[in-house]
Amino acid sequence: MRFLITAGPTREAIDPVRYLTNRSSGKMGYCLAEAAVHEGHSVLLVSGPTSLYIPHGVDFLPVESAQEMYDAVKNQAPYADAAILSAAVADYRPVFVPDRKIKKTGERMVLELERTGDILGSMRTEFGFSGVLIGFAAETHDVEDYARGKLERKRCDMVVANDVSRSDIGFDSSENEVMLVYPDRTELLEKAPKTQIALRIIERASRLAQEKEASC
């Protein structure tokens, strides 16, 4: 199978030296890419900025902003059999970015933000993607409910949900515990190294592809 995997955070420029970002390390997405190659699949990894080594055997496309990731996924989605969108893409970006550093003046500064493009939500519609679609939901509360809502709104085959309020899993950790939310059920993958979690997700993605092909 041909996998398209996104990973890492995005950076949204405030000025030439500052940006908005998040705590994603990219570890889960990189483990997914490595696991897919290990299982004999071809992989294109589209990644925001991280300090991680690029897994051996993957095609690698670096991006920085949410818009760059949106454009990259839009261009590459037609060539993929399965897409796993694990990147932590910024929901908002500054409306105006000056070409010079903003100088410190008053006691407060107000930033006007606008929504970024919805990559996962565009896969079935604007991008016309018909393969296996797996999204991620990083939540701090009501994890399964929010994940199921995302699954339905964005027409995913599966959503991988994890509780990022926990300090022992998720962001910056080498371990994770996730719920795999399907249209008809939820499966818990108990706490384990992200490498093991990634292998199980790739196995589930392959199974979903077989089921999709059999139903056609």
Active site residues: 22
What is the distance of C-alpha 105 from the center of its chain?
37
What is the distance of C-alpha 48 from the center of its chain?
10
Task: Classify strands 132-139 and 158-163 as parallel, antiparallel or unpaired.
Answer: parallel
Q: How many residues does the chain have?
A: 216
DSSP the chain: -EEEEEESB--EESSSS-EE--S--SHHHHHHHHHHHHTT-EEEEEE-S-SPPPPTT-EEEE--SHHHHHHHHHHHGGG-SEEEE--B--SEEES---SSPPPP-SS-----EEEPP-HHHHTTTTS---SEEEEEEEESSSHHHHHHHHHHHTT-SEEEEEETT-TTSSTT-SEEEEEEE-SS-EEEEEEEEHHHHHHHHHHHHHHHHHHHHHH-
